[in-house]
Amino acid sequence: MPGILEKLRILGEAAKYDLCASTASPRAHTPGSIGKAVTTGVCHSFLPDGRCISLLKVLATNSCIHDCKYCINSIRNNKDFKQTITSFEPDELAKLTMAFYLRNYIEGLFLSSGVGKSANCQAEIIHETLHLLRYKYNFDGYIHAKVLPGIGKDELFRIAELADRVSLNVELPNKSRFNETCSTKDYANDIIKVSKFLPEMSKTGHIPAGYTTQYVIGAAGETDKEILESIFKFYNEDWNFRRQYYSTCLPIDETQRNLPRSFFLREHRLYQIDWLRRIYKFSPEELLSVVNETGFIPLKVDPKVTIARENPEFFPVDVNNALYADLMRVPGIGHTSATRIIKLRNKGVAIYKNEQLKTIGVVLKRAIPFLKIGEKKQLTMVDFQKTEESD
Ligand code: SF4
């Protein structure tokens, strides 16, 4: 039976594929140096006030009854790779969290888990851990708890009463892709039915930091179009997911880890589309127009630039008169720079030089072809394409 530090090593390492706001860096550890980015155990999350906090990130157990082929903790991979199977006792993990918290190592807990004996049995263990933290140790810090596939409504509500945020990983964008990767879970019952409990819980004031989900990219033959259709559904008002994360499926065998760069770029492009939907408020139809005939987002061009090029009627945007929403459509202008432009204008400052835009954070190279500054329209679109091609 592993000791507590060994359990922490195993269950911290096993949790690294679950995303909250950050993930492990691929930078190798040099013997004799301080710190190790590959081995995980701590992740970060952002509070509504923008503060970044550190969370102890572990599994309650790495035992799982399911056979998801992309997961190192699945019943088949646990056997094939002769993993040491272990679990935290609820009080053991609660004490560990408190010990780290009191030493100022962490400000909260991200607790995920394999599905040990069954979803509801494991949920009971997670609930007991959170209950001990909240009521035995009076822990008022941040808790993010993983929702197990197939969990019952009552069990989920009991966890939601104690957690700040929960996440249910949909993993694949639809039933047929889901079935390509797992034979033991049922998409309708274990994922969709459980997801429908989440908006109800949130409306009753539980999980104040909302709920999120995660996709594993490239685990089946899914296209970006299928993923986008799924994420737009989960961001709409009926489902109201706070965030969706994308994690490139890493081959489980360490010897196969040389993934092509395009896989990570694919993940990056999905995050860009996600931002364009959530923050920039582009419509699903506009964003779906970016995918090519094979159903993928082109890797070479930033999707915001593609949309701008395909909708020339919106441009040029007059920097001295445009609404915030129109400024946000310009490549190279984000929320911060659009807000600063409006603030400057409200103070009566006219913007007539590129330098003014540069100092407030506009990425000039991207933005200029789409802007009108004073009476002057900047580079033409043809000029801009030439500058991109010459890079
Ligand atoms: S249910 Fe979760 S922990 Fe279990 S095998 Fe699937 S992905 Fe892994």
Q: Could you state, in order of their start, the residue ranges of all structural domains in the chain?
A: 4-26+36-216+233-241, 314-390
> What per-residue confidence (pLDDT) applies to 263?
82
**CB of 337 closer than 6 A to ligand 1?**
no
Q: What is the pLDDT of residue 27?
A: 44
Question: 4-26+36-216+233-241 maps to which CATH number?
Answer: 3.20.20.70
**151-173 pLDDT, tens digit each:** 999 999 999 999 999 999 999 99
Pocket lining: 74 vs ligand 1, CB cutoff 6 Å: yes
Counting ligand 1 atoms within 8 A of each CB, the residue from 16, 61, 74, 191 with the most, and so the one to mutate, is 74
Q: Are 142 and 109 in contact (CB under 8 A)?
A: yes
Q: At 9, list the tokens.
A: 């090593």
pLDDT score, position 208: 87
Nearest ligand 1 atom to alpha carbon 185: 1
pLDDT of residue 255: 53
Centre of ligand 1 from the C-alpha of residue 75, in Å: 8
Query: How far apart (Å, rounded) are the C-alpha atoms in residues 247 and 132?
Result: 32
Show the CA angle centred on residue 340, arms to residues 335 and 344, nearest 5°.
Answer: 150
Distance (angstroms) between ligand 1 centre and the Cα of 280 equals 33
Between strands 52-59 and 42-46, the pairing is: antiparallel
Q: Whose CA is nearest to atom 5 of ligand 1?
A: 74
Query: How high is the pLDDT of residue 41?
Result: 64
> From CA 314, how far away is CA 370, in angstroms rounded?
9
C-alpha 64 – ligand 1 centre gap (Å):
6
Q: Confirm or reject: Cβ of 66 under 6 Å from ligand 1.
A: yes
The whole-number pLDDT of residue 18 equals: 66
Q: Say how many Å lie between the CA of residue 20 and the centre of ligand 1.
A: 16
Strand order, beta sheet including 211-217:
42-46, 52-59, 108-112, 142-146, 165-167, 211-217, 243-248
Collect the ranges in the chain with pLDDT lower than 70. 17-42, 44-50, 253-259, 261, 375-391
Q: Which of 66, 122, 170, 171 to probe ligand 1 with, by most ligand atoms within 8 A of CB?
A: 66
* pLDDT given at position 205: 83
- How far apart are the CA of 62 and the centre of ligand 1, in A? 9
The closest-lying atom of ligand 1 relative to the alpha carbon of residue 75 is 5
pLDDT of residue 376: 52
Q: What is the DSSP letter of 370?
A: G
Whether 362 is in the pocket of ligand 1, judged by its Cβ within 6 Å, is no
- pTM of the complete model: 0.84
Q: Is 114 in the pocket of ligand 1 (CB under 6 A)?
A: yes
Residue 149 CB less than 6 A away from ligand 1:
yes
* Residue 25 CA: distances (Å) to CA of 18, 29, 43, 247, 387: 14, 11, 11, 13, 33
What gap in Å lies between CA 157 and CA 163, rounded to an integer?
Answer: 10
Contact 77, 252 (CB under 8 A): yes
Task: Find out whether the beta carbon of 64 lies less than 6 Å from any atom of ligand 1.
Answer: yes
Does the beta carbon of 113 sit less than 6 angstroms from any atom of ligand 1? no
Cis (ω within 30 of 0) for the bond into 312?
no
Strands lying side by side in the sheet with 371-373: 317-318, 371-373, 376-377
Whether 71 lines ligand 1, by a CB cut-off of 6 Å, is yes
Ligand 1 closest atom vs CA 171: 7
Ligand 1 centroid to 68 CA: how many Å? 6
**73 close to ligand 1 (CB < 6 Angstrom):** yes
Distance 213 CA to ligand 1 centre (A): 14
Q: What is the pLDDT of residue 391?
A: 42
Q: How far is the CA of 78 from the centre of ligand 1 (A)?
A: 11
CA nearest ligand 1 atom 2, residue:
114
Q: Which residues make Cβ contacts (< 8 Å) with residue 306, sequence separation at least 6?
A: 290, 298
Kindly state if the Cβ of 116 falls inside 6 Å of ligand 1. no
